[in-house]
């Protein structure tokens, strides 16, 4: 996996077109990443890493290629790819994608046939990724892996669902 280091806002669009695969519960599911958001370190007020290393975000400070999963609103899991140098904190939230493998399994896990992976919480549910996978190495041969792909043309917009540093256009959407 190349280009997983350096500035998060530069590494983020490189993830578009990459695939995210999980081999969990005996099933293989995979998506192509089409939407991401970059979250920085101490310099990004909207990032979980902005207040330093804590219990919840410790994975964000690991090396690039580490999986960072956190619980959102007490209900959903959100999946991130760590990109920052060790100790700095910085990750890319995978917000959207399209199923490429095991969409039938995803539909079963999601309890519906549509809107399988068009939101951060939905992706985790579709791929069966939870907090127990937090800290996993996505570049190794674990149950969740990141597979490099071609780069796609993209548009950048403001991030969604945050209340700080709203002006940064660190959301990257693959152009269709």
Partner DNA sequence: CTATGGATTCGCT
Partner DNA sequence: GCGAATCCATAGA
Name the residues that contact DNA, by CB under 7 A. Answer: 37, 39, 46-49, 51, 54-57, 60, 68, 71-76, 78, 80, 91, 93, 110, 112, 115, 119-123, 159-163
Q: Which is nearer to DNA, 60 or 129 (CB)?
A: 60
3-class secondary structure, 136:
coil
Q: Which is nearer to DNA, 63 or 110 (CB)?
A: 110
Q: Which of 11, 16, 13 is nearest to 63 (CA)?
A: 11
Determine contact, residues 66/138, Cβ cutoff 8 Å.
yes
Structure tokens at 41: 């370190």
Q: Which is nearer to DNA, 123 or 139 (CB)?
A: 123
Residue 45 has phi, psi (to 5 degrees) of -60, -25
Closest approach, Cβ 134 to DNA, in A, equals 11
Closest approach, Cβ 57 to DNA, in A, equals 6
* Nearby residues of 121 by Cβ (< 8 Å), 6 or more positions away: 72, 75, 76, 77, 78
Closest approach, Cβ 151 to DNA, in A, equals 21
Closest approach, Cβ 141 to DNA, in A, equals 25
Determine contact, residues 34/96, Cβ cutoff 8 Å.
yes
Q: Which is nearer to DNA, 155 or 164 (CB)?
A: 164
Q: Which is nearer to DNA, 84 or 102 (CB)?
A: 84
**Interior angle at CA 118, CA 115 and CA 121, nearest 5:** 100
Closest approach, Cβ 33 to DNA, in A, equals 14
């Amino acid at each position: 996996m190349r280009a997983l280091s350096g500035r998060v806002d530069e590494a983020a669009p490189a993830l578009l077109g990459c695939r995210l695969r999980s081999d969990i519960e005996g099933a293989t599911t995979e998506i192509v990443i089409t939407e991401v958001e970059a979250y920085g370190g101490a310099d990004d007020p909207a990032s979980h890493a902005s207040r330093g290393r804590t219990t919840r975000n410790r994975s964000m400070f690991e090396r690039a290629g580490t999986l960072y999963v956190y619980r959102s609103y007490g209900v959903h899991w959100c999946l991130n790819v760590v990109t920052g140098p060790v100790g700095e904190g910085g990750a890319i939230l995978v917000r959207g994608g399209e199923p490429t493998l095991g969409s039938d399994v995803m539909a079963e896990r999601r309890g519906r046939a549509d809107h399988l992976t068009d939101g951060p919480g939905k992706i985790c549910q579709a791929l069966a990724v939870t907090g127990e996978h937090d800290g996993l190495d996505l570049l190794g041969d674990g149950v969740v892996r990141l597979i490099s792909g071609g780069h796609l043309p993209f548009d950048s917009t403001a991030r969604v669902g945050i209340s700080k540093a709203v002006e940064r256009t660190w959301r990257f959407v693959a152009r269709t």
